[in-house]
Amino acid sequence: MTLGEGGTPLVRAENLPAKIGRPDIELYFKLEGLNPTGSFKDRGMTLAMSKAKEEGAEAVICASTGNTSASAAAFATKAGLPCYVILPSGKVAAGKLAQAIFYGAKVVQIDGNFDQALDLVRALAAEGNITIVNSINPYRLEGQKTAALEVIEKLGNAPDYLFIPVGNAGNISAYWRGFKLGKSIGTAKKTPRMFGFEAEGSAAIVRGVVIENPETIATAIRIGNPASWKEAEAARDESQGKIGCVTDEEILSAYKLVARTEGIFCEPSSAASLAGLIKYSREIEKGAKVVAVLTGNGLKDPNTPIEVCKDELDLKPVEPSVKTLKAVMGLCK
């Protein structure tokens, strides 16, 4: 089954490297927001859903910070399976909630966070013939690793560095599987150093402890007990990489910078990859090829940009005349 997922653009950053004081690096963005439901989740969801159908599941279920639920809802509809979605109330971006409902999933919001929602999903699935389509489903990461193979295909080799946001730590693990596969089958001559970034208020891997009450403006990665914790640490260690964290301020600043230097609108959580790159840019050698993954589309969350730019936005309408517009636009002599 397919909704047209994968094959997303890898776009060279022409302006941003100089803006962050590193005109000497070759930087590319992998635009995963151009997948059919607007995030990288579609790569793994198509496979997880096909296998659920094949294995005779009666329904699928997921916990989600938003994007998994949007993707699951769309692919479940395509597969003809009922879909149940458990969300942390008040912490899911408007566009994602709209998608999950509109694709026809049964959406339940809990008075709790993502980690509690995932625990509940595990308990519910244990009681019946209902398949979990979170990244603990083994097919999810197998599907997601295709993104790394596409990067290799476009560059003709693996990059020197991969920067990526970390929430449940599934995607960094999937990319690492893909890069190792690329090297073993000979399409790449090397593997990149993997640099993953959690939000500071939910940096479980960085701190080495489960965070009971994770907080961050980047709600997609507001996760305190990452499901793929161990595999992500292995990816970091095997690749001589790093898992670090970035503050909400650093995330929002990167979020705005990529829009205003490159014309790319990603969601706040996606900008954790760029925020990490900026933070560690001095560690990158001259001439290095660097890929930053922008995991989700900016349109998912229409509220944060308006909040971030509220000083620039005057919502009061003006009189519709050329004279007034020239005055407001600063075009008067």
Give the binding site for ligand AN7 (CB under 6 A). Answer: 39, 64-68, 135, 165-171, 220-221, 267, 269-270, 295-296
Q: How far is the CB of 36 from ligand AN7 (least distance, A)?
A: 15
Q: How far is the CB of 204 from ligand AN7 (least distance, A)?
A: 11
**What are 196's two structure tokens?**
């993953």
Q: How far is the CB of 171 from ligand AN7 (least distance, A)?
A: 3
Please tell me the distance from the alpha carbon of residue 26 to that of residue 28, in angstroms, as a whole number: 7
Nearer to ligand AN7, 65 or 146 (CB): 65
Please tell me the distance from the alpha carbon of residue 162 to that of residue 172, in angstroms, as a whole number: 9
Q: How far is the CB of 158 from ligand AN7 (least distance, A)?
A: 20
Q: What share of the chain is helix, strand, coil (3-state, %, to 5)?
A: 45, 15, 35
From residue 15, how far is each of 24, 25, 209, 277, 292 by CA, in Å? Answer: 12, 11, 38, 15, 15
Q: Is the dihedral of CA 101, 103, 108, 113 positive or negative?
A: negative
Q: How close are the terminal C-alpha atoms of the chain, in Å? A: 60
Q: How far is the CB of 313 from ligand AN7 (least distance, A)?
A: 24
Closest CA to 175 of 291, 270, 264: 291
Nearer to ligand AN7, 23 or 302 (CB): 302
Nearer to ligand AN7, 22 or 222 (CB): 222
Q: How far is the CB of 92 from ligand AN7 (least distance, A)?
A: 9
Nearer to ligand AN7, 22 or 272 (CB): 272
Please tell me the distance from the alpha carbon of residue 288 to that of residue 294, in angstroms, as a whole number: 19
Residue 270 identity (one-letter amino acid):
S
Nearer to ligand AN7, 191 or 216 (CB): 216
Nearer to ligand AN7, 17 or 196 (CB): 196
Q: How far is the CB of 51 from ligand AN7 (least distance, A)?
A: 19
How far, rounded to the nearest angstrom, does the alpha carbon of residue 19 sit from its chain's CA centroid? Answer: 24
Nearer to ligand AN7, 94 or 328 (CB): 94
Dihedral angle, C-alpha 263, 266, 269, 273, nearest 10 °: -50
